[in-house]
Structure 1
Amino acid sequence: MPPRGSRGPLPPLLLVAALAACVARASEITFELPDNAKQCFYEEIAQGTKCTLEFQVITGGHYDVDCRLEDPDGIVLYKEMKKQYDSFTFTASRNGTYKFCFSNEFSTFTHKTVYFDFQVGEDPPLFPSENRVTALTQMESACVSIHEALKSVIDYQTHFRLREAQGRSRAEDLNTRVAYWSVGEAIILLVVSIGQVFLLKSFFSDKRTTTTRVGS
């Protein structure tokens, strides 16, 4: 028995699940994209591998960006202009380096914050028997169900975090605009008030008249 306060070795089923989670390849990045800028990423992909590119603009301007995906031969697989968010799935036609770029070159003064998730391949089976015709044990089936449920929880949590970040950015942007508009209205009101005071003062000011005597 291990001493109190320490942990023993992982059970075989949990160890297999942990190793499977480590094998999965995915790139999940949030980065700043300045105005008039372009950022490219590269990924080595084997032929026949199924990949998914998902992106979303979190902050900046109209929350849009240009996206382009090319294969090793430079053939455009995906191209969208001024998209706020999108998802694209493809299967690699050949081995090589695939390139995907995000462009903010159409914007002259606003930078963007972009999130993307690039998944290469599918998660390997938790147990070798999943690819066979044999039936899974009750413990194996429970582990597979829990694994799939945790993947769904992670995906939902990511999407809700992105929505929360985008909503906070919109609220802060709206608050800034309201603050500037309030200051502008205050200045206009002050100028109009001063003008009215001088206008009313001119109505009640004494006008000096000059009389000239004409001798007979």
Structure 2
Amino acid sequence: MDRNVLFILCFFTLILCINTHEKQLTVNIEPRKQDCFFERINEKQTVELDYQVIDGGHGDLDITFQTYDPYGRILLADYKKSGNTHTINTQTTGDYKFCFDNTFSSFNTKTVFFELIVDNDEDDFGASENMNGLNPEDVYELKIQDIQDIVNRVRADLNKIRQMQDIIKSVEARDRNIAEENFFKVTSFSFMQIVIMLFVGGIQVLMLRSLFDDNSRVHKIWKNLDSLR
């Protein structure tokens, strides 16, 4: 087989063998409830997780978040935050638990965007050694190692870019919900002001008309008050 063809096949094989697991989900956390999600993760892996509260249901954009190891120990905890990003290096193989707690809220349902990236922590980004004195087979293996290093770097950068894009999308969704919530509050307040103004204006008109109408009940009440004086 031609050396260049074998080179290309090895390149695509390395791309297919990239061991990265990614999960994204958007969940609704009901008031006075806690929802937990489980993910089986091996030891010596790097876990990157990010969450954003994108809708607060006419309330604050906050949630309480905890991460537990397979033994039930708390690895990290955030109390009433709108979002955060964490990185965990696992020491134990097992089911890790990620919980979103909305028990402090009495009426508002929280919508949370959650992203989980699990990656091996054994990537080797080192450069090849000096090739002087090596036979052709060893040189070829070092070349393959260089390709693997480049692919790993590109893969890591692409994961970072995709993660940042997901964060930007979740922030945009949160900002849109905040704008819609502010619009709802302004519209409701303006409508209440208009109703109150119309009600007060109608009362003023009735009062003024009754003052000049001898047969009205208000006019009689005023006459009785004057007679009492």
TM over 0.5: yes
Q: Quick one: which amino acid aligns to residue 43 of structure 2? A: Q
Equivalence for 1:169: 177
Q: Unpaired runs of 5+ in structure 2?
A: 1-7, 130-141, 224-229
Equivalence for 2:106: 108
Q: Quick one: which amino acid aligns to residue 189 of structure 2? A: W
Cα offset for 1:156?
A: 2.7
Aligned partners of 2:65 and 2:77 also within 8 Å: yes
Query: Is 1:184 aligned with 2:179?
Result: no
Cα offset for 1:146?
A: 4.7
Q: d(CA) in 2 for partners of 1:153 and 1:17?
A: 17
Q: Quick one: which amino acid aligns to residue 172 of structure 1? A: E
Aligned partners of 1:64 and 1:84 also within 8 Å: yes
Query: Is 1:133 aligned with 2:131?
Result: no
Percentage of identical aligned residues? 27
Structure with more of its chain in helix, by fraction:
2
Equivalent residue runs for 1:68-87 within 5 Å: 68-87=66-85
Instruction: Give the secondary-structure state (helix, strand or coil) at the position aligned to 1:121.
Output: strand
Query: Is 1:56 aligned with 2:52?
Result: yes
Judging changes above 3 Å, is the alpha-carbon distance between structure 1 residues 176 and 161 closer, same or farther for their aligned structure 2 residues? same
Q: d(CA) in 2 for partners of 1:145 and 1:119?
A: 16
Equivalence for 1:8: none
Match 2:65 to one of 58, 64, 67:
67
Q: After the TM superposition, which of the residue ranges 49-58 and 179-188 deviates more from structure 2? A: 49-58
Q: Unpaired runs of 5+ in structure 1?
A: 1-10, 210-216
Q: d(CA) in 2 for partners of 1:166 and 1:64?
A: 11
Q: d(CA) in 2 for partners of 1:81 and 1:187?
A: 40
Aligned partners of 1:70 and 1:77 also within 8 Å: yes
Give TM-score scaled by structure 2 length: 0.73
Instruction: Give the secondary-structure state (helix, strand or coil) at the position aligned to 2:60.
Output: coil
Cα offset for 1:142?
A: 6.6
Equivalence for 1:117: 115
Aligned partners of 2:63 and 2:80 also within 8 Å: yes
Q: After the TM superposition, which of the residue ranges 41-50 and 57-66 deviates more from structure 2? A: 41-50
Equivalence for 2:213: 205
Q: Quick one: which amino acid aligns to residue 192 of structure 2? A: G
Q: Quick one: which amino acid aligns to residue 30 of structure 2? A: P
Aligned partners of 1:24 and 1:124 also within 8 Å: no
Q: d(CA) in 2 for partners of 1:15 and 1:121?
A: 18
Instruction: Give the secondary-structure state (helix, strand or coil) at the position aligned to 2:76.
Output: strand
Cα offset for 1:106?
A: 0.9
Judging changes above 3 Å, is the alpha-carbon distance between structure 1 residues 142 and 89 closer, same or farther for their aligned structure 2 residues? closer
Q: Quick one: which amino acid aligns to residue 196 of structure 1? A: Q
- Per-residue displacement from partner, 1:148-189 (whole Å, max 9, x unpaired)? 543343123212211110111011111111121121111101
